[in-house]
Every structure is written in structure tokens, then in C-alpha cells.
């Protein structure tokens, strides 16, 4: 999508966490496309505010903000601790809100702007073993619907994108429960999440992009 936007003549700022070290290759690829790379950690208020300010300075203003930062969660819901919940909500929900809050003042002042929040098919369809992921995506849908109503008089619009499962690195980076201490009491059913994940992986592999 980024390459398409650049080729269509749009000026694009791409946010990357730690672009000079951990994600150096990704950042370099974006720069070669003509993208203005901005360092943003969506779990940090100051990082988001500084990154958005840098993007606005580079682009003049931000017409469209796309929030697609997210991490998946998979496993028996009872096994996820409170810390697990906080970690995943911090990226998928609080991170989206941080970005929205950072870009909105300028959009409202110009009476123009679009916020696109990437949710998921699972914001509409509950599937076993991804209950925590369902929860965060449902939360973003609710935030988006409320913002769309509140911002309608200020010329800013909000929309969501609900992609389906695709054969990407998303599944390789799923966060699993930090504890498996409840497995024993679930008996044989404790093995169901891994069996289902394997089946999903095989299905996606047989239907490449």
C-alpha cells in the first residue's frame, strides 16, 4: 500500500519503531521508496507526540492517519495474566488512541482529515483462543464509531479497515500466555489451541497472496 501511495504522488510518512537499529532494514526500504521515516513507539506518549510533530513538519500537514500497529494474542484466555492483557491493550488500543489524539488538533483546525484504524474480521466474529485479540479489536471499533460521531462537525472523518487472515509474519509473532499453569485442569482440551493454530497455518499456506 505504501508503494502505491508514493507512486500515486502522495507524500508519505512511515512510522517505524527504532528505525536505526532493530528495524533498520525496514526503514531503509521505506526511504528508498521515498517515504519520510519517523521513529514512533505507540506505547509511549512522548514518542507519539514527537513523531507526529516531525511528520507534520516534514509533510506540511497530515491529511490521513493510518493506525495499523498491532500484535496478535493466542491461547486459552484463562492463561493470560493481567500483565499480558495490559501489554496487548497498550499496543492495540491505547496506541491507537495515542495516535488519534496526536493528529486530531491539526485536523480539526483545518476542518479536514481522515483517520483509518485497522481492526480485523475478528472485530465482528469471535473465534476461540483469540479472545484477547477479539477484545482489543472490538475496542478499536468502538473508539472509531464514537470518534466518527464526535468529529463529524469538525470536518474530520474516521473509518475502519477489517482485513481477513493473510499469510504474513503476523502469525509468527503471536503473543502466547505468559503462564500455562491452568493447562492441567483443562485436560486434553489444553492442546486445542495449538492444534487449531496449525490447521489455520496450513490453510493460509495453501492459499498464498
Give me the CATH number covering residue 91: 3.40.50.720
What ranges in 10-130 are assigned the alpha helix state H? Answer: 24-33, 45-59, 82-89, 95-110
In a domain, 110, yes or no: yes
Q: What is the pLDDT of residues 33-66, one digit of tens each?
A: 999 999 999 999 999 999 999 999 999 999 999 9
Q: Let me know: does 39 contact 18? Beta carbons within 8 Å.
A: yes
Q: What is the pLDDT of residue 142?
A: 96
| Residue 178 belongs to a domain | yes
pLDDT surpasses 70 at 111: yes
Active site residue 74: no
Domain count, the chain: 1
In this structure, is residue 16 part of a structural domain?
no
Give 3-state DSSP helix, strand, coil % of the chain, rounded to 5. Answer: 55, 10, 30
Number of H helices, E strands in the chain: 8, 5
- Quick: pLDDT tens for 79-93: 999 999 999 999 999
For 38, phi then psi, to 5°, come to -125, 130
126-143: pLDDT as tens digits: 889 999 999 999 999 999
- Whether 109 maps to a domain, the answer reads yes
Q: For residue 23, tell me if it sits in a domain.
A: no
| pLDDT bucket at 101, cuts 50 / 70 / 90 | very high
Catalytic residue among 74, 80, 129, 133: 133
Domain that holds residue 129: 40-205
Q: Confirm whether 136 is domain-assigned.
A: yes
- pLDDT band, residue 164 (cuts 50/70/90): confident
Amino acid at each position: 500500500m505504501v508503494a502505491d501511495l508514493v507512486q500515486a504522488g502522495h507524500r508519505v510518512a512511515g512510522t517505524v519503531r527504532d528505525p536505526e537499529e532493530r528495524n533498520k532494514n525496514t526503514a531503509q526500504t521505506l526511504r528508498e521508496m521515498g517515504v519520510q521515516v519517523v521513529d514512533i513507539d505507540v506505547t509511549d506518549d512522548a514518542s507519539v507526540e514527537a513523531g507526529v510533530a516531525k511528520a507534520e513538519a516534514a509533510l506540511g500537514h497530515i491529511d490521513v492517519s493510518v493506525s495499523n500497529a498491532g500484535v496478535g494474542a493466542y491461547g486459552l484466555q484463562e492463561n493470560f495474566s493481567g500483565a499480558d492483557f495490559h501489554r496487548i491493550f497498550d499496543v492495540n488500543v491505547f496506541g491507537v488512541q495515542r495516535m488519534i489524539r496526536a493528529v486530531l488538533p491539526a485536523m480539526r483546525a483545518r476542518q479536514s482529515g481522515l483517520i483509518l484504524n485497522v481492526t480485523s474480521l475478528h472485530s465482528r466474529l469471535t473465534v476461540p483462543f483469540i479472545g484477547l485479540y477479539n477484545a482489543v479489536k472490538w475496542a478499536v471499533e468502538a473508539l472509531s464509531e464514537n470518534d466518527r460521531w464526535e468529529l463529524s462537525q469538525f470536518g474530520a472523518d474516521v473509518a475502519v479497515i477489517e482485513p481477513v487472515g493473510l499469510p504474513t509474519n503476523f502469525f509468527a509473532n503471536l503473543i502466547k500466555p505468559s503462564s500455562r499453569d491452568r493447562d492441567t485442569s483443562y485436560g486434553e482440551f489444553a492442546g486445542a489451541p495449538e492444534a487449531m493454530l496449525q490447521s489455520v497455518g496450513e490453510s493460509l499456506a495453501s492459499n498464498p497472496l
